[in-house]
């Protein structure tokens, strides 16, 4: 793609914006007159090529995190893939022309950026970004940062390691598809079990699940086998604690929490993407994009409506961004 020079970067851009809290269909609007964000010393300006959407975007729009959110109007979007077009004075590693990707908000719920990734340009701290693996397209790369970093952090927090068994609740979702792959192909799990509806069982197996559990037909907590770790990506913590071994660990990303489970909110870090780059480049770990996508930038509101059905497989991607 053609890289704008610093003199040709426009002052205004197209972006999706909400100026008040509410349902996505009511508050999210396409605005062609949004100011391109200024770059701070430790940031780069990215010409966005692709972005992906996450449940946190819709929850934020509803005002669920109002107390710790940045003020509206807000451009949503955490995940980005694009090209560096300008660098701040303290940027050491990245340069103009680099193809990068990342989750642009270091603390997901603590004053996330007002200028997110659902725009033509976004400004991001260098340490939150990594160089895009060459074998991944921009839309594939945009699908990964938040979910693969969340999967990785949860596994680290439980002390997951080679030879341990894991049960993944919500195996076909954005985070779940990455937990399965990281547990099996990066951490060296002895057994990976995962839940999904009937139509997604084969996907789970293709990603590395040894046991694919149809939640419409059986209750995972009634299985005779218990697991070293249960990773709850859907909010079934009360059941998850019944499926773990006595000395095992339960981690969740969706409250409420049933002891002894722990819940965490992702801290974004581009070094995790760098660490996982060999697995992505070798194809051992793959992006999983919902087959209904990618959605064009003009249909971002429709993409959110689809995400809210909870029927998406993997990630819902917006591509191309003008």
Summarised one tens digit per residue, pLDDT across range 10-67 is 999 999 999 999 999 999 999 999 999 999 999 999 999 999 999 999 999 999 999 9
What was the pLDDT predicted at 3?
62
pLDDT tens readout for residues 95-139: 999 999 999 999 999 999 999 999 999 999 999 999 999 999 999
* Res. 166: pLDDT tops 70: yes
**According to the model, what pLDDT value does residue 7 have?**
56
Instruction: Report the 10 Å Cβ neighbour count for 192.
Output: 28
pLDDT value of position 4 = 61
Q: Which one, of 226, 233, 239, lies nearest residue 171 by Cα?
A: 233
Q: Specify the long-range contacts of residues 132-137, CB closer than 8 Å, at least 24 apart.
A: 132/81, 132/99, 132/100, 132/101, 133/277, 133/280, 133/281, 134/281, 135/280, 135/281, 135/283, 136/280, 136/287, 137/50
pLDDT above 70: residue 281: yes
Write down the pLDDT at residue 8. 87
The DSSP secondary structure of 227-289, one letter per residue, reads EEEEEESSS-HHHHTTSEEEEEEEEESSS---TT-EE---B--HHHHHHHHHHHHHTSS---B
- Residue 13 and residue 36: Cα distance in Å, rounded? 6
Residue linked to tokens 């609007």: 29
Q: Name the average pLDDT for the chain.
A: 97
Q: How far apart are CA 114 and CA 148, in angstroms?
A: 23
Q: Is the pLDDT confidence value at 5 over 80? A: no
What's the whole-number mean pLDDT along residues 198-213?
98
Give the pLDDT confidence of 244-277 residue by residue, as tens digits.
999 999 999 999 999 999 999 999 999 999 999 9
The tens digit of pLDDT for each residue in 53-77 reads 999 999 999 999 999 999 999 999 9
């Amino acid at each position: 793609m053609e890289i704008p020079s610093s003199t040709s970067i426009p002052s205004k851009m197209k972006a999706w914006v909400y100026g008040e809290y509410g349902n996505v269909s009511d508050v999210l609007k396409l605005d062609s007159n949004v100011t391109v964000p200024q770059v701070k010393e430790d940031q780069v300006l990215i010409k966005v090529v692709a972005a992906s959407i996450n449940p946190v975007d819709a929850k934020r729009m509803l005002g669920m995190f109002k107390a710790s959110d940045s003020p509206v109007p807000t451009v949503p979007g955490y995940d980005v893939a694009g090209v560096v077009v300008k660098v701040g004075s303290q940027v050491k590693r990245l340069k103009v022309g680099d193809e990068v990707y990342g989750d642009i908000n270091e603390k997901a719920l603590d004053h996330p950026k007002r200028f997110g990734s659902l725009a033509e340009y976004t400004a991001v701290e260098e340490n939150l970004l990594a160089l895009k693996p060459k074998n991944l397209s921009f839309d594939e790369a945009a699908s990964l940062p938040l979910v693969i970093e969340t999967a990785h952090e949860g596994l680290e927090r439980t002390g997951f390691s080679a030879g341990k068994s894991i049960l993944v609740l919500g195996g076909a979702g954005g985070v779940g598809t990455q937990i399965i792959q990281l547990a099996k192909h990066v951490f060296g799990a002895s057994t990976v079990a995962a839940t999904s509806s009937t139509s997604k069982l084969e996907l789970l197996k293709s990603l590395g699940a040894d046991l694919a559990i149809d939640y419409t037909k059986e209750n995972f907590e009634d299985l005779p086998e218990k697991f070293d770790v249960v990773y709850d990506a859907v909010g079934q913590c009360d059941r998850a604690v019944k499926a773990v071994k006595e000395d095992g660990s339960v981690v969740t990303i969706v409250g409420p929490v049933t002891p002894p489970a722990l819940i965490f909110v992702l801290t974004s870090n581009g070094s995790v993407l760098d660490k996982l780059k060999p697995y992505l480049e070798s194809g051992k770990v793959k992006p999983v994009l919902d087959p209904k996508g990618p959605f064009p930038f003009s249909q971002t509101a429709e993409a959110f409506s689809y995400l809210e059905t909870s029927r998406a497989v993997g990630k819902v991607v917006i591509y191309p961004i003008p």
